[in-house]
């Protein structure tokens, strides 16, 4: 296993109010060359999980428990200086949400990518620029555009430049947090295709984070459904889609319109996601779940293997097999 | 479901925005430049219909919606509301029209004043139009909140927007649009800022309100999966023109125009076994300042012929109720 996350807990401390349980006991693992999609509503902790893996937490973000093993070595207990030098960007990099607006408007795009290289490697500007040309070609930008400023790039091209920057040091894992929100559909499709091509070519492992299950299904091999800081279902993406077990997954799927299907009534999930300052007792989905029983309120279910490599965190998944939401 | 009584008609509607030019351009006598945001759009929306304008950002769909409500003044063309030209309205008549035609904006985080309570926000249109006494207004606000399923309404009256979730905020925005009992609502991307699970809830609410209040909608969206779900008819826009128009299901399942085909092929589906194939389109969206000669899509079209570079195709009926503006269908 390339990356193993074990029982990770990361809370934000709110002075006088307690802790926001943003990531609360998350475990998963991924192999080299694999794409894992993480899907959930806003506020479910998916972006917090990403920045925890990169140790980019704000000052009130506290890692309370758990391990993150990269090739067997715990990167959470690693000395921060070493992590910064050897892991962040070099082995795990990220394309942030809205990244296309993260470029510095007054520095040429090529120079910005070169800067990322020169900070980590002792190379001359010329060598760095040679790498920039390679990278731009890889992401489908004409290398002559390296001398352009961000405002001369369209949204899609800026996103490509950000991907080039994330790939600058040949990382093993790329985290893409909502890489296509704010892009038009055709541009979105082109960026997804680009990620897929690069992933194959470089045998990259990708963690794709989004609220949009359709976008995630396009690229992922495996999927993790997150709810209120926890993974509630995990497995091969086709398995989870065709044979979803958790009521929340079923609900999510029945709320998404599909362009290739006949019109059907969309179902919405009643209520709103819980406040993570005081997560509900027992199963966190119970206040919104139409199938809840007393046990769900009293006891938190374990994430168990329902069938090989298909995990679910629900007391009643056996009885609910094949039953639709509501 | 829809009747044949037209509620809103746009006739050759145009909106050009002047591009700011400097003094140097004036001295050099450069021609004045315009962004042709809406460039001759014609369509009719019938009673109780949900008519959708869809397209990528910058195609002019939002400007069309605003021009119809005269939130921007159209450059030329006509907007007929139940047969009367809205562009000739002034003063009182315009105010009367504003009562009957309302708008819901995209971003419920920005369209609601954070300092106002839900009651003030929803009541404001009544105050502006001097409807009812204080007591009656309270009654009307409560009813509007119940209509949008913010129940019990007492619990929401004195909250402020920051105390509401995204879905609840959009419900408040809908209640505000409903309170004057309008006949026509422009909904500009009403669900694109919301989470997937909440989108379904708001879309279903809009469908319910259409039936209960006999509403007619102009629904503006970039998301064709949403359009297919909610709309009766759809117009696909590109650089200020309608390229294809017809029943939503028909246009999406059986598109004619090369642009519509490209757009539809690029949309991912929730089914992981169905993947996006090749997208039959070249390049990126052209600037609406320098609109290409002939068919404005020809530089990106994989089927472009020489005629496409010279003459602009008209919107013609290719099969019953299904219109397309493309030289391939003649």
pLDDT bin (cut points 50, 70, 90) of residue B125 is very high
Task: Name the residue among A119, A25, A31, A35 with its Cα closest to residue A70.
Answer: A31
| Beta bridge pairs of residue B81 | B8, B84
Determine the 3-state secondary structure of B200 from DSSP. helix
Establish if B167 touches chain A: CB-CB under 8 angstroms: yes
Q: Which of residues 248-277 of A touch B (CB under 8 A)?
A: 251-253, 255-261, 263, 265-269, 272
Q: Which residues of chain A have a CB within 8 Å of the CB of B61?
A: none
DSSP one-letter code for A146: G
pLDDT > 90? residue B193: no
Closest residue in chain B to residue A193, using alpha carbons only: B276
pLDDT > 90? residue B28: no
The residue written with tokens 């070493």 in the block is: A82
Positive or negative CA dihedral for B220, B226, B230, B234? positive
Separation CA B327–CA B330 (nearest Å): 6
| Beta bridge pairs of residue A223 | A37, A235
Separation CA B9–CA B80 (nearest Å): 5
Separation CA A288–CA B197 (nearest Å): 12
User: Which ipTM was obtained for this model?
Assistant: 0.87
Are A259 and B199 an interchain contact pair (Cβ–Cβ within 8 Å)?
no
* Interval B70-76 mean pLDDT: 95
pLDDT at residue B53, rounded to an integer: 97
- Of the candidates A41, A186, A241, which has its C-beta nearest B279's C-beta? A186
Separation CA B317–CA A188 (nearest Å): 31
DSSP one-letter code for A74: E
Establish if A213 touches chain B: CB-CB under 8 angstroms: yes
pLDDT > 80? residue B222: yes
Predicted TM-score of the model (pTM)? 0.90
In CATH terms, the superfamily for domain B6-324 is: P-loop containing nucleotide triphosphate hydrolases (3.40.50.300)
Give, to the nearest 10 degrees, the angle between helix B118-128 and helix B166-178.
20
Query: What does chain A come to in residues?
Result: 326
A166 to A92, A209, B175: CA distances (angstroms):
9, 16, 45
pLDDT top residue among A262 and B55: B55
Question: In the structure encoding, which two tokens stand for residue A278, read together?
Answer: 């005081």
pLDDT at residue B196, rounded to an integer: 80
| Sequence-ordered list of residues with C-beta below 8 angstroms from that of B297, at least 6 positions apart, any chain | B238, B239, B243, B258, B259, B308
Q: Which residues of chain B have a CB within 8 Å of the CB of A259?
A: 224-225, 228, 252, 264, 267, 269
Closest CA of chain B from A232, distance in Å:
16
Helix (H) or strand (E) holding A166: helix A155-167
Q: Which residues of chain A have a CB within 8 Å of the CB of B165?
A: 272
pLDDT top residue among B29 and B99: B99
Q: Strand pairing of B184-188 and B216-221?
A: parallel
Mean pLDDT (chain B) is: 93
Question: In the structure encoding, which two tokens stand for residue A120, read together?
Answer: 């980590």
Give the pLDDT of chain A (326 residues) as one tens digit per residue: 899 999 999 999 998 889 999 999 999 999 999 999 999 998 899 999 999 999 999 999 999 999 999 999 999 999 999 999 999 999 999 998 776 778 899 999 999 999 999 999 899 999 999 999 999 999 999 999 999 999 998 888 999 999 999 999 999 999 999 998 878 899 999 999 999 999 999 999 999 999 999 999 999 999 999 999 999 999 999 999 999 999 999 999 999 999 988 888 898 888 888 999 999 999 999 999 999 999 999 999 999 999 999 999 999 999 999 888 76
- Of the candidates B56, B197, B264, which has its C-beta nearest A255's C-beta? B197
pLDDT at residue B205, rounded to an integer: 95
- Supply φ then ψ for residue A109, to 5 degrees: -60, -45
pLDDT > 60? residue B1: no
Positive or negative CA dihedral for B108, A279, A316, A230? positive
pLDDT > 70? residue B3: no
pLDDT at residue B23, rounded to an integer: 81
- Of the candidates A185, A251, A257, which has its C-beta nearest B228's C-beta? A257
Separation CA B217–CA B1 (nearest Å): 13
- Of the candidates A193, A257, A267, which has its C-beta nearest B229's C-beta? A257
């Amino acid at each position: 296993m390339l990356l193993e996350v074990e029982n990770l807990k990361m809370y934000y401390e709110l002075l006088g109010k307690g802790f926001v349980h943003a990531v609360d006991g998350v475990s998963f693992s991924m192999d080299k060359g694999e794409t894992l999609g993480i899907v959930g509503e806003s506020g479910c902790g998916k972006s917090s999980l990403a920045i925890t893996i990169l140790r980019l937490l704000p000052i009130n973000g506290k890692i309370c428990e758990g391990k993150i093993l990269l090739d067997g070595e715990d990167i959470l207990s690693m000395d921060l200086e070493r992590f910064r030098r050897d892991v962040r960007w070099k082995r795990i990099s990220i394309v942030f949400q809205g990244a296309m607006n993260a470029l510095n408007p007054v520095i040429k795009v090529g120079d910005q990518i070169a800067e990322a290289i020169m900070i980590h490697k002792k190379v001359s500007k010329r060598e760095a620029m040679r790498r920039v040309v390679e990278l731009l070609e890889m992401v489908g930008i004409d290398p002559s555009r390296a001398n352009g400023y961000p405002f001369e790039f369209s949204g899609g091209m800026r996103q490509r430049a950000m991907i080039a920057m994330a790939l600058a040091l040949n990382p093993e894992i790329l985290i893409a947090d909502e890489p296509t929100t704010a892009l038009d559909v055709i541009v979105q499709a082109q960026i997804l295709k680009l990620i897929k091509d690069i992933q194959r070519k470089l045998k990259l492992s990708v963690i794709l984070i989004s609220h949009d299950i359709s976008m995630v299904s396009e690229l992922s091999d495996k999927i993790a459904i997150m709810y209120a800081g926890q993974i509630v279902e995990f497995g091969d993406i086709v398995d989870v889609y065709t044979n979803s077990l958790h009521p929340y997954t079923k609900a999510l799927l029945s709320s998404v319109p599909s362009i290739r299907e006949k019109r059907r009534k969309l179902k919405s999930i009643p209520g709103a996601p819980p406040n993570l300052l005081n997560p509900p007792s027992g199963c966190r989905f119970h206040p919104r779940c139409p199938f809840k029983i007393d046990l769900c309120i009293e006891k938190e279910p374990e994430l168990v293997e329902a069938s090989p490599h298909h995990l679910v965190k629900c007391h009643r998944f056996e009885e609910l097999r094949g039953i639709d939401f509501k | 479901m829809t009747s044949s009584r037209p509620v809103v008609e746009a006739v050759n509607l145009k909106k050009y925005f002047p591009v700011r030019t400097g003094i140097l351009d004036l001295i050099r006598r450069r021609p004045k430049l315009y962004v042709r945001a809406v460039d001759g759009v014609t369509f009719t929306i019938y009673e109780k219909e949900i008519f959708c304008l869809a397209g990528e950002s910058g195609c002019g769909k939002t400007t069309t919606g605003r021009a119809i409500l005269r939130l921007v003044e159209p450059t030329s063309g006509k907007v007929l509301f139940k047969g009367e030209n809205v562009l000739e309205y002034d003063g009182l008549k315009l105010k009367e029209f504003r009562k009957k035609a309302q708008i819901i904006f995209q971003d419920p985080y920005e369209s609601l004043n954070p300092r106002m309570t839900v009651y003030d926000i929803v009541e404001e249109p009544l105050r502006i139009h001097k409807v009812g006494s204080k007591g009656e207004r309270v009654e009307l606000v409560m009813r509007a909140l119940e209509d949008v399923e913010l129940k019990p309404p007492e619990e929401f009256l004195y909250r402020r927007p920051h105390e509401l979730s995204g879905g609840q905020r959009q419900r408040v925005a809908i209640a505000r649009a409903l309170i004057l009992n309008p006949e026509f609502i422009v909904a500009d991307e009403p669900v694109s800022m919301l989470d997937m699970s909440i989108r379904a809830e708001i879309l279903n609410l809009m469908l319910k309100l259409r039936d209960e209040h006999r509403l007619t909608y102009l629904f503006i969206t970039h998301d064709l999966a949403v359009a297919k779900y909610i709309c009766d008819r759809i117009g696909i826009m590109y650089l200020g023109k309608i390229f294809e128009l017809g029943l939503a299901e028909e246009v999406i399942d059986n598109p004619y125009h090369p642009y519509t085909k490209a757009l539809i092929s690029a949309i991912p589906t929730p089914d992981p076994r169905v993947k996006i194939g090749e997208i039959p389109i070249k390049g990126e969206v052209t600037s609406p300042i320098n609109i290409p000669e002939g068919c404005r899509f020809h530089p990106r079209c994989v089927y472009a012929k020489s005629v496409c570079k010279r003459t602009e195709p008209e919107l013609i009926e290719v099969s019953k109720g299904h219109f397309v503006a493309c030289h391939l269908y003649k």
